[in-house]
């Protein structure tokens, strides 16, 4: 019998992996794909990456960041579920890209290095997930090495993240003697992930036989303590973002990955409802809706295309369908939506709520765009962050000013930089969250547009989007402060300040003007 829309949607699990660099995100991604059956050999993800030719340094930057960007989404089917892993750049300078990607997931896997615990990036990314109530599954990685005591790790998660923990599995052994995980509720033991079915073991003493004799008693005691002292898993609390199930393992040595895939299948939520300006959209609704959370250029050096990554929010997306682009009200055809697998992309004939498709285009689509089958609604929540660095772009060849303007506009549409056009007609200012983004901009302007540029300090260092309940007040402010006002890509006004001090000062002087550091795309 053909699958119903509701059934197809309920099988989707769309998630991201959040981690501090080096915790093992890349390795875990590879192993999820390996044990999920998407790739034959671990290492293929990296190998593929190495084959891709690089044309310029920015590609090198991306390459150094591992599989990120080259494969922004990876899909595999396992045990009846369809898993979509959305990859996020590891480097902090690309944080805005990561935050936007997190708006397109329904769950996250938080990878912690068992020796290091919660690190700064983990904390930051966790906070972003919490803002959106994204449920989190914790994977404590590198148990094959010297690590902290599992109870200590659980305590740290509870304290630093104010998040309840429920260990679902318990590590058997430590560092050299680490040999598998024991499922506390099911009372099963699984050695390496090459063992597909775990073995039932009711008695901790039986499990302890996998350990050297001198570690057995301690293990049995620890198991008893874990059973008595730890919280049991509570799915409601997990879905509400109050509790995280915890798994212990080693991505490199193939431990705990299968438990994690099973947990994603069993615990992680199917596609969530999405909030739009006019109403809430349910994933299993008949009519297709989607939003763009990322634009990627140069996915393939042979095709100078741009891919808009769209998360399907409801219904079914079909190849060839016509959709309405909310920002312009125009209709566009989806002639070649694509799916991404570990090593290739493929035309997508159908995609369901929860899936992510790549839509090739030449600049029609922007980050934050909503696509529908005709209904006039706009999804909320794809954020735009006030840049931390503002620069003027200096062109070596002044004759090419017009070309530069076009190029910057395109880079801004892709989300590489933000572009601000001052009201007084002075040259545009670019803004970025991290300095590496400027390197990317410079390399791309040179390699793709033949525009060698350098950057100059601007007299501004802070910018805020401004609005007011009173249109008259806003107009007055914009007119009075014309030299400090610019428009972003959407034409929305921003206030540019010299520094944080003068920003505060002005904010106090003009209480009717709201100044915000995060703008949600509309």
Closer to ligand GDP by CB, 32 or 307: give it: 32
User: How big, in percent rounded to 5, are the helix, strand and coil portions of the chain?
Assistant: 30, 30, 40
H/E stretch holding 453:
strand 453-457
437 near ligand GDP, judged by CB under 6 A: no
Site stretch for ligand GDP (CB under 6 A), options 23-31, 193-201, 295-303, 349-357: 23-31
Buried b (16+ CB within 10 A) or exposed e, 273-295: ebebeeeebbbbbeebbbbbbbb
Decide: is 19 part of the binding site for ligand GDP (CB under 6 A): yes
Nearer to ligand GDP, 88 or 458 (CB): 88
Pick from 427, 404, 429: which is nearest to 418 by CA?
Answer: 429
Report d(CA 96, CA 331) in Å as an integer.
29
Closer to ligand GDP by CB, 35 or 420: give it: 35
Stretch that binds ligand GDP, among 16-24, 287-295, 329-337, 374-382 (CB under 6 A): 16-24
Task: Report how many residues bind ligand GDP under the rule CB under 6 A.
Answer: 18
- Does 169 engage in binding with ligand GDP (CB under 6 A)? no
Judged by CB under 6 A, does residue 23 bind ligand GDP? yes
Phi-psi region of 425 (alpha: psi -120 to 50; beta: other; left: phi over 0): left
Site string for ligand GDP, 109-148 (x = CB under 6 A): --------------------------------xx-xx---
Rg (CA), the chain: 25
- Residue 90 binding ligand GDP, by CB under 6 A: yes
Stretch that binds ligand GDP, among 3-11, 24-32, 102-110, 151-159 (CB under 6 A): 24-32
d(CA 187, CA 192): 16
If the CB atoms of residues 56 and 192 are measured against ligand GDP, the closer one turns out to be: 192
- What CA–CA distance (Å, rounded) separates 137 from 163? 11
> Residue 288 is encoded by which pair of tokens?
């297709």
Of the candidate spans 6-14, 22-30, 150-158, 281-289, the one that interacts with ligand GDP by CB under 6 A turns out to be: 22-30
Q: How far is the CB of 250 from ligand GDP (least distance, A)?
A: 3
* Residue number with CB closer to ligand GDP (141 or 437): 141
Window 229-258: contact mask with ligand GDP (x via CB under 6 A): ---------------------xxxx-----
Closer residue to ligand GDP in complex, CB, 41/399: 41
Taking CB under 6 A as the rule, does residue 387 contact ligand GDP? no
DSSP string, 191-214: -STT--SPEE---HHHHHTTS-HH
Q: Where are the alpha helices (DSSP H) in 120-256?
A: 120-131, 150-161, 204-208, 213-229, 235-239
Binder of ligand GDP out of 14, 27, 122, 458 (CB under 6 A)? 27
> Number of C-alpha atoms within 13 angstroms, CB side, residue 267?
30
* Element housing 385 (H / E): strand 383-385
In the complex, which residues of this chain contact ligand GDP (CB under 6 A)?
19, 21-27, 66, 90, 141-142, 144-145, 250-253
């Amino acid at each position: 019998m053909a699958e119903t829309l509701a059934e197809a949607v309920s099988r989707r699990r769309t998630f991201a992996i959040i981690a501090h660099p080096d915790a093992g995100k890349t390795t875990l991604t590879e192993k999820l794909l390996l044990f999920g059956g998407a790739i034959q050999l671990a290492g293929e993800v990296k190998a593929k990456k190495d084959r891709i030719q690089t044309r310029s340094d920015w590609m090198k930057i991306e390459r150094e960041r591992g599989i990120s960007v080259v494969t922004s989404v990876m899909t595999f089917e396992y045990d009846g579920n369809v898993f979509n892993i959305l990859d996020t750049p590891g480097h902090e300078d690309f944080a805005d890209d990561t935050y936007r990607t997190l708006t397109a997931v329904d769950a996250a896997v938080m990878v912690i290095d068992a020796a290091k615990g919660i690190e700064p990036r983990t904390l930051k990314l966790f906070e972003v997930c919490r803002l959106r109530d994204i449920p989190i599954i914790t994977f404590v990685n590198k148990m094959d090495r010297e690590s902290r005591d599992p109870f200590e790790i659980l305590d740290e998660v509870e304290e630093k993240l104010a998040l309840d923990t429920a260990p679902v599995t318990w590590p058997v052994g430590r560092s050299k003697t680490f040999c598998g995980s024991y499922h506390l509720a099911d009372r099963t033991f699984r050695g390496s992930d090459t063992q597909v079915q775990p073995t039932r073991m009711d008695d901790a003493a039986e499990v302890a036989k996998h350990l050297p004799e001198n570690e057995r008693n301690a293990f049995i005691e620890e198991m008893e303590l874990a059973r008595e002292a730890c919280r049991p898993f509570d799915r409601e609390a997990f879905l509400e973002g109050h509790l995280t199930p915890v798994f212990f393992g080693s991505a490199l040595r193939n431990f705990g990955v299968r438990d994690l895939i099973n947990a994603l299948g069993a615990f992680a939520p199917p596609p969530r409802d999405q909030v739009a300006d006019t109403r809430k959209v349910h994933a299993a609704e008949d009519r297709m809706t989607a939003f763009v959370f990322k634009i990627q250029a140069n996915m393939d050096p042979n095709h100078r295309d741009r891919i808009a990554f769209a998360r399907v929010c409801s219904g079914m997306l079909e190849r060839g369908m016509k959709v309405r682009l909310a920002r312009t009200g125009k209709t566009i055809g989806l002639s070649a939506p694509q799916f991404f697998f570990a090593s290739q992309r493929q035309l997508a004939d159908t995609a369901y709520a929860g899936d992510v498709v790549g839509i090739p285009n030449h600049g029609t689509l922007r980050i934050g765009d909503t696509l529908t089958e005709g209904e006039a609604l706009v999804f909320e929540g794809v954020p735009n962050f006030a840049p931390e660095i503002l620069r003027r772009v200096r062109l070596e060849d002044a004759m090419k000013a017009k070309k530069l303007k076009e190029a910057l506009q395109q880079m801004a549409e892709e989300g590489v930089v933000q572009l601000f056009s001052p009201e007084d007609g002075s040259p545009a200012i670019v803004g970025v969250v991290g300095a590496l983004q400027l390197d990317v901009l410079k390399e791309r302007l040179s390699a793709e547009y033949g525009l060698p540029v350098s950057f100059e300090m601007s007299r501004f260092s802070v910018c805020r989007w401004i609005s007011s309940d009173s249109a008259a007040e806003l107009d007055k402010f914009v007119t009075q402060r014309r030299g400090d006002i610019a428009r972003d890509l959407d034409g929305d006004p921003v206030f540019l300040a010299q520094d944080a001090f003068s920003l505060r000062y002005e904010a106090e002087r003009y209480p009717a003007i709201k100044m915000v550091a995060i703008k949600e795309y509309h």
